[in-house]
Structure 1
Amino acid sequence: MQVIDAWKEVYLAGTEWDQFSDVDRYPWDFGHLDDAINEGNLKDGKLFVFGTTEPQLVNTKEHPSGTVIPIPVIIVVSSKLAPPSTVSIKSVQRVEEEILPMSRMKMGWYPLVPPGVDPIRGAKSQRLYVLKCEQRRAGLKNLKIDRLKQYEYVLPYIFFPEKQEEEVPDTVINMMVDLVDGGKPLVFEYDYELDDIDEFVPEKLKEEDLDGAKYEAQLRDEIKKQVKATKMKQKAEREAMKKEIDNMSTEEKDSLRTLKAYKFYPQNEEPNVQEFKNTFINRYYLHADEVF
C-alpha cells in the first residue's frame, strides 16, 4: 500500500490554532517521507507518526529580510509496540506538567489507510499509524481559554526507563520570596547542593540593600522551606518513576529500548529551511536518531 502526502494526515501537536493557516500558506514538500515509508529505510515494521511546528525567521523571495514561519516537522517512530496514548501539557506559565490520555484531547493513534483501500481491511493489516486530533477549528469559539491553551502546549508523551534512571535531579531552585515590609519580592536562584545558606543569605540581603538584622532569619527560613518542598517533590517523582518502571512488562521495556525516532523537515527549495534542521523532538522523546 503506497502512501501519498502522509504528512497531511498528521496533527501538528503544540501549534497555536491561528498558526495553522500560516502552515497552509506553503506547498510543503515531504516527498522524501513518503519515499522512506513506501520503499526506503522505513518500509518495514510498525510506524507511528506525529508532528509539530518550529517557528523560525526564514528568508524568502517574498521576504528577503526574513519572516516568521511555523515550519512543519514530522516525527516517525519505529517501535514494536505502540507508543503511549498519552500527552503532556506543560508551558512556561504552568508550574506542574499534566499527563492526560489522548482521548481527553480528542486525539489518538489512527491507522493511515491509503486512498482506494477498503478502510476495514486496510486497518487490520496496517503498520502505519498517525496522530490525529478530532477537535474541529470551527468549534474553537466554544472552548474556554484554558482549554484552548491546552492544545497549544500539548506534547506527545513517552517514558524511557533507562534514560529516567540516568537523570540527575536538578538542585537549582528558582525562588521568589516575599519579605514582610521588604518591598518588592526577591527573585533569585538557589542551588541547595552548592550554595551555603550561611553565606548566601547575608550576601543576598547586602546585594538587595536590605537590613540583615531585620530580614536574615526570615529569608533563611523561607529558603529552607522551599528547599524542603522541592526535595519532597523530587522524592515523590522518583518513587512514581520507580513504580512506573516496575509496572512495565519485559516486552514493553524491550520495545522502548529498541525504539527509533526519525525527524523529517520539508525539502522545499522555497522556502528553504535546511539550516534549521536539528535533532531535538521534545522533552520526552528527546533527540531523533536521524534527521532528514
Structure 2
Amino acid sequence: MARPKGKKRAAEDPPAEAEAKAPAVRGRPRKSAKTEPKPPAARGRPKKSADTEPKPPKPEAEYFPEQRNLEDLWLSAFPIGTEWENIDKIKEFNWNFENLEKALEEGGKLYGKTVYLFGSTEPQLLDVNGESKIVLIPIVVAVDCPFPPSDKIGINSVQRENEEIVPMKAMKMAWLPYVPLEDRLSRIDSLKTKIFTLGCTQRRSALKHLKTERVKKFDYCMPYYMPLTPPEEEDDTVVNIMYPLEPPIVCDFDWEMDDMTDFIDEKVKDEVLPEEEKEKFKDFIKERVRERKRELKQAKDARKKAIDDLDPKLKEAYANIRFYKFYPVKTDDTPDVSNVKAKYINRYYRHAHELL
C-alpha cells in the first residue's frame, strides 16, 4: 500500500535536544529532572549559634517604701520668715510629720475640716549624735477655719522702725489648694480639697536681681491675723528708745512703771548720758511716748472698724477659729525636739490652742 503524502518522519532527537526544541508552555516553567529542589525558607528569626555568649543577668529591681498619702504636706507649707540662705537647712534631717497627717486623716481631729497651713522654723540648740548643735526645726501651724484667716502679711522685726501690713500678693504669697498623693492623677478642677497651704511664687534664682531691702523683707514676713478680741499686750506702755549720740542710747521706757526723773538720772550716773543732754533726752522720751499712745489709739480704732465691717458669717467663723501647732515626731534619724516645744506662734497669732 502506498504511503500517504506528507513530510517524512524525522529521526528521533536525543532527549536533551528534544527538550530544548520543545515549544514554550504558558505558565510556570517545568523543572528539569536534574534541578535540585531549594530548601524551604526558615520562618522567624534565625537561630542563635551555640557559641553566642549569654547576656548578663538583669539587676534586681530596687524597692522603695510606699509614699504616704500626705507625706509631703508639711513641705508644701512655705516656711515664712526663714532666711532664703537657710531654707535648704530644713532638709538637713529627714523630718517626719505623721502627727499632722493623722490629724487630717479619717479619725483625726481635723478630718473633714477646712484647714489653712503655713510653715515656719525655730532655731534651737539640740543634741545631735552626742554633740550640741543649732538645728533649724520646721514647724507647721494648722488653722481650723472655713474661711482664710487673712489675706495679709505682717513685716516686722527689731531692725525695722515701722511695722508694715501688706497684701499677700505684694510678697508673691497666696493660699493654694493641696492635692493629696492619691488624687494627683485626677483633674484638678474636679477636686474639692479642704486643705490649703501658704505658697510663695518668688523664684530664688531671681533674688540676685532684687534690691537688698526687698530680699530682706521676706526674712521679716509673718502671717498676719487680727483677732476679734485684742490680745493683752504686756508692752503696751513700753516705748523703744534710740537716742542719737555716739554711741546711741538704746533702751526701753515704761511710762507707767518708770519715773522719768529717776530714769534719766540713772543714765547720767552710768555715764551713758552726758549731764548737758538731760533736758534734750527728756523731751525725746516724751515725744516717743506721745507717738506710741497715738499708734495704740489708731490701731484700736482700725480694729473696731474692721470688726464692725465683717460679714456676720465671717465674724462667727473667727469667733470659733482654732490654731494647732505641729512639731516633727521623733524618729531614729532625727533629733529629739520634745523639750523645746512652745505654744507661741507669732505676735499676731499669739499662742496655739493645742500643741502637737
Q: Which residue of 1 aligns with 2:125?
A: 57
- Between the aligned partners of 2:259 and 2:346, the Cα distance in structure 1 is 34
**Partner SS for 2:131:** coil
Q: Which residue of 2 aligns with 1:196?
A: 259
The structural deviation recorded for 1:88 is: 0.7
- Between the aligned partners of 2:197 and 2:216, the Cα distance in structure 1 is 23
Structure 1 3/222 Cα, relative in aligned 2: closer, same or farther at 3 Å? closer
Q: Encode CA deviations 1:16-56: one digit per residue, 9 max, x unaligned.
A: 11112211122111122112112211112211111111111
- Between the aligned partners of 1:209 and 1:32, the Cα distance in structure 2 is 52
Structure 1 244/68 Cα, relative in aligned 2: closer, same or farther at 3 Å? same
The structural deviation recorded for 1:112 is: 0.9
Q: Which residue of 2 aligns with 1:27?
A: 94
Q: Which runs of 5+ in 2 are unaligned?
A: 1-68
- Between the aligned partners of 1:85 and 1:211, the Cα distance in structure 2 is 48
Q: Does 1:208 align with 2:277?
A: no
1:220 to 282, 304, 308: 282
Q: Which residue of 1 aligns with 2:303?
A: 241
The structural deviation recorded for 1:159 is: 0.4
Task: Give 4+ residue runs of structure 1 displaced > 6 Å after superposition.
Answer: none
**Higher helix proportion, which one?**
1
The structural deviation recorded for 1:74 is: 0.9
Q: Which runs of 5+ in 1 are unaligned?
A: none
* TM-score where L is the length of structure 1: 0.88
Q: Which residue of 2 aligns with 1:88?
A: 154
Q: Encode CA deviations 1:68-110: one digit per residue, 9 max, x unaligned.
A: 2211111111102211111111111012111111111111101
Q: Does 1:117 align with 2:179?
A: no
The farther-off stretch of 185-194 and 261-270 is: 185-194
Q: Does 1:152 align with 2:219?
A: yes
Is the contact made by 2:71 and 2:97 (CA closer than 8 Å) also made in structure 1? no
1:171 to 237, 240, 253: 237
- The letter of the residue matching 1:241 is R
Is the contact made by 2:249 and 2:272 (CA closer than 8 Å) also made in structure 1? no
The structural deviation recorded for 1:203 is: 4.7
Q: Which residue of 2 aligns with 1:6?
A: 73
* TM-score where L is the length of structure 2: 0.73
Is the contact made by 1:5 and 1:31 (CA closer than 8 Å) also made in structure 2? no
The farther-off stretch of 170-179 and 134-143 is: 170-179
State the aligned residue count.
282
- The letter of the residue matching 2:349 is Y
- Between the aligned partners of 1:155 and 1:210, the Cα distance in structure 2 is 36
Larger Rg: 2
Structure 1 72/184 Cα, relative in aligned 2: closer, same or farther at 3 Å? closer
**Partner SS for 1:242:** helix
**Partner SS for 1:275:** coil
Is the contact made by 1:169 and 1:234 (CA closer than 8 Å) also made in structure 2? no
1:260-275 paired onto structure 2 within 5 Å: 260-269=322-331, 270-275=334-339
- Between the aligned partners of 1:209 and 1:104, the Cα distance in structure 2 is 42
Identity of aligned residues (%): 37
1:285 to 335, 349, 354: 349
The structural deviation recorded for 1:209 is: 7.8
The structural deviation recorded for 1:210 is: 6.4
Q: Which residue of 1 aligns with 2:173?
A: 107
- The letter of the residue matching 1:133 is C
